Chain A
Amino acid sequence: MEKNKKLTKVLMSGNEAMGEAAIRAGCKFYSGYPITPQNELTAYMARRMREEGRAFVQAESELAAINMIFGAAVTGVRTMTSSSSPGISLKQEGISYLAGCQLPAVIINVMRGGPGLGNIDSSQSDYFQSTRGGGHGDYFTPTLAPWSAEEATKLVVLAFDLADYYRTPVLVLADAIIGQMMEPVGLPFERMFKKKLPKKTWALTGAKKRPANAVMSLLLGDRVLQRHNERLGRKWDKIKEKEQRFDTYKVQDAKYLIVAYGSQARIAFEAVDILRKQNIKAGLFRPISLWPYPEKGLKELAKGVKKVLVVEQSLGQMVEDVRAALPLGEISFLGKAGGGIPLAKEIVGAIKKSL
């Protein structure tokens, strides 16, 4: 990564910014299949990867794309794919294989409305899919949710670092608003992960002068898979312990806490300012890592809070993690699905109703 250079601001969409971040993070192979609202990302990679002399493939399907990512990851290079909700569903088989084989890769989901093909409006209805594994088998994918184009760049870089450090696929969960919106993005991108990354001694790079490596997800034999899953389990525990991330706004003296992530957090941010002007002590808790859920931070913050309002572009998914973190809390929910977006005035109304 570039260091100590002066920050310059350029106007970029979230989609373009995530593409550029992947390139600067050293992504050597990208494969994807077009789908709105993330097309600009694939288009950006088509142009820029070629300029950088790296590999870009527009695959014939999402299945092909994710399995090409598997192939690239297994050689130890940094690799990424992106899609939107229906396409991510198609990729889940491959993501399960990546997790089972402990292969680092970055997958970006610019969420749209579902279920099924749904529509192309912004939505946060893939929260369950993203934070509960998504595919078959006992696994999780660390999931990072940006609320701006600039933060998206940092989280893509972080996703590559987490993927390499923990040897696991990492999701960046954006939504149509974050993908489509253009705003100023600071260059070069900041690197958040400070730990030293391990050498990829497991990679399939040719076994000349060393014993052959093997990467496989089919583990037959007496308790072989059980032991493998237990190893994975210790990894998930470690990630839960170390990688919880969140941000807050005006929470010091907050009596009413709004919990929202991604683009919805921007609207909640606006609602906090409106409420503060009316002398209502509102604050915002914004999870950045959705898995692991930042429950430690939320528990700590909720101590002085009277009521918690969870706001999502869904019928209520993250709210379950908030309820799990705060079993005794007074928690209400405001959500819209299928492209509906809870507006600032509606959030303000929901808080005032609960006064």
Chain B
Amino acid sequence: MKVEILISGFGGQGIMSLGKFLAKAALSEGKEVTYFPSYGAEMRGGTAHCCVKISDSPIASPFEEHPDVALIFNQPSLDKFKKKIKKDSILILNSDLMSEQVSINNSRGACLSLSKIAIDCGNIKVANVVALGALIALDPSIFKKETLVKGLKLTFKNQNTLKQNLLALDKGQALLSSKTYL
């Protein structure tokens, strides 16, 4: 097993937090993992991104090359990484922050109202976890749901924040029975 996950969006959307969260989740399942962030010279309105690699064997290069999973939270991120995303990559887009009609032909893609659903969960900041829910619906083999739930419980001490995140995970997962595929 070897998975490369690219996460990209605006600074403040929980891009790095989600990357680190997934890296820790993978480590807790005994996997090899690397997390590599963009750092420093990012600007307001631009993109922040990170790459998480998970494998059963040691990981050499930590860079994104051709992600197997791309979680894209805004238009500039899609513009930046469009070319790197493979046809058979899992692609989850945040339709709320896309300025154009998206036309990528991914066999396993979903364009979802991540921000709006997050607001429904009580906190726009949980849009990243909505995407994670959608990811486990599209491919249950990368993360076990119970690992993620356990991770969220370890991450959030505040019961209300935890509740919002658990709800976001469930809603994201449930979405893909009734959502707009690309």
Contact = CB atoms under 8 A, between A and B. Distances in A.
B110 interface: no
Contacts of B23: 11, 182
B63 interface: yes
B61 interface: yes
Contact of B33 (A177, A183, A266, A269): A183
A37 B35 CA distance: 15
A267 interface: yes
A37 B40 contact: yes
A119 B36 CA distance: 18
Contacts of B34: 181-183
A176 B27 CA distance: 23
Contacts, number: 53
Interface string B12-43: 00000000100110010000111111011100
A36 B36 CA distance: 15
B1 interface: no
A184 interface: yes
Nearest to B65: A343
Nearest to B20: A182
A11 B20 contact: yes
A11 B22 CA distance: 11
Contacts of B63: 341
A120 B41 CA distance: 8
A182 B40 contact: no
B60 interface: yes
Given A11-B24, A266-B60, A184 B33 contact: yes
Task: For chain A, give the interface size range.
Answer: 20 to 34
A17 to B, nearest CB: 13
B4 to A, nearest CB: 13
A36 B38 CA distance: 12
A9 interface: yes
B172 to A, nearest CB: 24
B61 A266 contact: yes
Contact of B39 (A120, A184, A270): A120
B33 A344 contact: no
B62 interface: yes
Interface residues of B, number: 19
Given A11-B20, A11-B23, A180 B39 contact: yes
B27 to A, nearest CB: 5
Interface string A112-123: 000000011000
Contacts of B59: 183
B39 to A, nearest CB: 5
Residue with the highest number of chain B CB atoms closer than 10 Å, among A9, A183, A273: A183
A37 B39 contact: yes
A280 to B, nearest CB: 17
A331 B33 CA distance: 34
Contacts of B20: 11, 182
Nearest to B63: A341
Contacts of A176: 39
Nearest to A184: B27
A9 B27 CA distance: 8
A182 B61 contact: no
Residue with the highest number of chain B CB atoms closer than 10 Å, among A9, A11, A270: A11
A180 B51 CA distance: 12
A267 B39 contact: no
A11 B27 contact: yes
A267 B27 contact: no
B60 A270 contact: yes
Contacts of B27: 9, 11, 184
Contacts of A120: 39-41
Contact of A36 (B39, B61, B62): B39
21 contacts: A11-B20, A11-B23, A11-B35, A36-B39, A37-B39, A37-B40, A119-B41, A120-B40, A177-B36, A181-B36, A182-B20, A183-B35, A183-B62, A267-B60, A267-B61, A269-B60, A341-B63, A343-B61, A343-B65, A344-B60, A344-B61
Interface of B: 20, 23-24, 27, 32-37, 39-41, 59-63, 65
Q: Which 6 A-B pairs have the closest CB atoms?
A: A270-B60, A182-B35, A36-B40, A120-B40, A266-B60, A269-B60
Given A11-B24, A36-B41, 10 more contacts: A9-B27, A11-B20, A36-B40, A37-B39, A120-B39, A120-B41, A181-B62, A182-B35, A266-B62, A341-B63
